[in-house]
Amino acid sequence: MATVRPFTGLRASVALADQVLAPPYDVVSEAEARAIVAGNPNSFLRVTRSEVDLPQGSDSHGPQAYQQAAATLRRFADEGVLVRDPEPSFYVYAQQMGDHRQAGLMALCSCSEYDRGIVRKHEFTRPDKEQDRTDHILTLQAQTGLVFLAHRQTETIAALHTAAARLDPLFSVTTADGVVHSLTRIDAPDQVAAWAQAFAALPVLYIADGHHRSAAASRASAAHDGAGSWGRFLCGIFPDDRLQVLAYNRLVADLQGRSPAQFLDALSQDFAITSGVAAAPDRRGCLHMYLDGAWHRLSPRDGVVDAGDPVASLDVAVLQDRVLEPLLGIADPRRDTRVRFVGGIRGTDALAAAVDSGTAAVAFSLFPTGLDQLFDVADAGHVMPPKSTWFEPKLAGGVLVHALD
């Protein structure tokens, strides 16, 4: 069973929510963060990217940055930029991006259940990033970044979301990217109990994004022997049938010494190639490639894809295992600077433009990895290739904070 708990959230005040809500800390550079906070003393980036309030060149992962973040978080609470609700509650966080709407439950999940695999992961983590998030939690005595979880939808949870959508939100604000964010508090005892019972019927939850934050919460919990609120971590938990996953595409700087014709010939060993196709694939099981001014479909030949392997059968894995590593020499896509990852929100025109301008030699456009595939990989205890999923819209920072006792 999946345990979810209500909590006394430290949240953006109704009056200032439009100033507080900010992009997630890990999708903006320091320069972008400094530009966003300029003239806005209440941006939550001052907590999550606290180097913006330090001199240029300061270590963003050092003690001074964490102490600055802690001081700003205290200031926000003291000045009412963030307010703490009087009693434990659940919250429903909804986002509207164009015609797409998604809503998830904001709650605390169990570090112990994360450690035992009830909250399932599908990515490796890096020790340095884990340490950074752990130090941030320990210094601030708070979890300022939520872990983005997904679950298989049930009729009971769908009905609870329908009922919650009829309630008046605490706030509804539109951020600079045009996404509408709203937060609704669930504090009626019968409704709190209903939400908890509905999630208790789920055998597992899945990390969609936030592997380093969940690992850091587990480490911080262990440092406090799992006592009290230290044994829980802040999550936004969304049903799989409401999430929007976009492609995560690739640009590669060169063809490893081959001409375009030679590269196509090398590809033909494992793929049937069709030229003059649309930029984006319309189904799983094929790759689209922009090379030498044209789009091409790469359809794996018989025997190339192991359909019974939940990882090897992913399009991103086929690209890595059959193209990027053997033909282009990219064995470690996490660290190889010759490959760039391009979120699907940028569209395929950006891929073609990069190749046409000479900043890349070849581009690969992928069909989005499905949540069913993510679940299958996690259920098998495996990990996905890096940069397999791009969720949109992004969950904003500053919506809720879990203050630790």
**Does 310 lie in the same domain as 230?**
no
Sign for the CA dihedral angle at 357, 339, 368, 281 comes to: positive
pLDDT for 323-340, tens place per residue? Answer: 999 999 999 998 899 999
Question: pLDDT digits over 342-384, tens only?
Answer: 998 889 999 999 999 999 999 999 999 999 999 999 999 999 9
In a domain, 384, yes or no: no
Residue 221 lies in a domain: yes
Strands (E), 111-199: 119-120, 142-143, 147-151, 171-174, 180-186
Whether 153 and 30 map to the same domain: the answer is yes
Q: Is 73 left (phi over 0), alpha (psi -120 to 50) or beta?
A: alpha
Report, as ranges of residue numbers, the positions in the chain whose pLDDT lies below 50. none
269 and 240 in one domain?
Answer: no
Q: Dihedral sign for Cα 27, 31, 35, 41, please.
A: positive
Residue 382 forms part of a structural domain: no
Q: Where are the beta strands (DSSP E) in 228-338?
A: 232-239, 245-246, 248-252, 271-275, 287-291, 294-300
Percent of the chain residues past pLDDT 90, beyond the cut: 95
Identify whether residues 54 and 134 lie together within a single domain: yes
DSSP code of 315? Answer: H
Residue 373 lies in a domain: no
Q: Torsion over CA of 230, 231, 236 and 238, rounded to 10 degrees?
A: 180
Instruction: Verify that 200 and 184 share a domain, yes or no.
Output: yes
The answer as to whether 386 is a domain residue is: no
Question: How many C-alpha atoms does 189 have within 13 Å on its Cβ side?
Answer: 0
Backbone angles phi, psi at 288, to 5 degrees: -110, 140
Question: How many C-beta atoms surround the C-beta of residue 335 within 10 A?
Answer: 9
Which of 337, 335, 349, 341 has the alpha carbon at shortest distance from 319? 341
The whole domain housing 255 covers 248-367
Q: What is the pLDDT of residue 27?
A: 86
Give the total number of structural domains in the chain: 2
Indicate whether 261 and 184 sit together in one domain. Answer: no
Per-chain mean pLDDT for the chain: 96
Whether 198 and 254 map to the same domain: the answer is: no
Q: How far apart are CA 151 and CA 199, in angstroms?
A: 9
pLDDT at 332: 93
Same domain (yes/no): 312, 397: no
One domain for residues 159 and 192: yes
